[in-house]
Amino acid sequence: MRNKGDFLFTSESVSEGHPDKVADRISDTILDTYLAADSEARVACETLVTTNKVLLAGEIRGPASITGDLIIEKAREAIKDIGYDQEGFSWKTADIQSVLHAQSEHIARGVDSAEGKDEGAGDQGIMFGFATTETEPLMPAPIFYAHKLLQTIHDLRKADDQRVAGLQPDAKSQVTLRYVDGKPIGATSVVISTQHDENMSQSRIKEMLLDIAEETLPEGWMCPIDEFYVNPTGVFVIGGPDGDCGLTGRKIIVDTYGGAAPHGGGAFSGKDPTKVDRSAAYACRYLAKNVVASGIADRCTLQISYAIGISHPLSVYVDLDGTGKDVDEAKLEGVLRELMDLSPRGIRKHLRLNRPIYTETSAYGHFGREPDMEKDNFPWEQTDLVDSLRNAFNR
């Protein structure tokens, strides 16, 4: 997304009850189960969900205490917490099967450390991070508010708030913002589609969600009422995995920056932090956010690349999109490599990633979330490099 000129930009979000997000949630629940038992466990868990069926596949390396029965039990708990106990998809009756198998010895050989060899990347790939001053969490505004709408509905639903009585777990949002001179000034349209009880009128649902949208968007940002779309198809009773098949890793743009920044293509959920698809993307966000939080630029895009089995990144690239304040981007690339060891092991240690902290990431975005100091979650959102960056550029 360009940082100058007048234009419209749109991002979408999906709720924890969307079938793809149900799959992400189950995959990350299995990952956390393994990491809670063994911080060095290796997990690549893929999940498929459809009408009252769940299939888990992929590769693992972890303690024998994590049995197939326990994996299925954890999957049921995840479905229950999301809120599915419907005829077509229920935590009680769903047929859940696990065909997870041991990690490939060839992959393990490339990743594991050995005498004279540091731990290598779990795969080749490119990862991106991004930050911008558009919002307080330094996220692009369209995806931030698309997430915030659904997060608000989720919080109210979990609290049994009567303002959302009758709404069910599956939902999507889409927010289009107008930019003037590169800065967001308000919404031109808002779309919310939400699963609901069969006896609810669409006019009542629209009335409920209008109040939430007006409260969620900044004052004066609400779109015209004729551009506020709720359940455009008219009815949304059949939803979740009963309405559509869901797969782990199919919402990578929702998970990151809503299309406002590049994406390397790798998904996050279900992958342990030796997989740089996940851990290096977190490192990129961490570094980009610290750059912008330090005040040396208003926007920062960062790319890192890796090869499977190789411990050091093949490249580090920084683009400040013309917003750098007398900052040499080549120098900044070197400074960032000095501030953080970007080997897979270095990233995991710096961000404390070998912990069961991933279930929370599976819905409403991996980035722009507020870290809870007590839980020590979302460590890649911390801005503890700000002083070092300012010192490096004499600020």
Which residues are annotated binding-site positions for K(+)?
A: 46
Amino acid at 46: E
C-alpha to C-alpha distance for 395 and 392, rounded to whole angstroms: 8
C-alpha to C-alpha distance for 79 and 96, rounded to whole angstroms: 11
Q: DSSP E strands: which ranges in the chain? A: 7-14, 42-50, 53-61, 85-86, 89-90, 95-98, 101-102, 125-132, 167-180, 183-196, 228-230, 246-247, 299-306, 315-319
List the binding residues for L-methionine: 59, 103, 244, 275
Closest C-alpha to 228, from 169, 172, 187, 184: 187
**350 and 340 in contact (C-beta within 8 Å)?**
yes
List the binding residues for Mg(2+): 20
C-alpha to C-alpha distance for 23 and 54, rounded to whole angstroms: 8
C-alpha to C-alpha distance for 202 and 154, rounded to whole angstroms: 19
Which residues share a beta bridge with 230?
192
Give 225: exposed, middle or buried? Use CB within 10 Å, 0-12, 13-18, 19+: exposed
Give 322: exposed, middle or buried? Use CB within 10 Å, 0-12, 13-18, 19+: exposed
Strands 42-50, 246-247: pairing is antiparallel
List the binding residues: 18, 20, 46, 59, 103, 170-172, 244, 250-251, 267, 271, 275
Amino acid at 86: Q
Q: How many residues does the chain have?
A: 395
Contacts of 387 (CB under 8 A, 6+ apart): none
Give 198: exposed, middle or buried? Use CB within 10 Å, 0-12, 13-18, 19+: exposed
Residue that the structure tokens 């279900």 belong to: 270
Closest C-alpha to 264, from 244, 274, 248, 249: 249
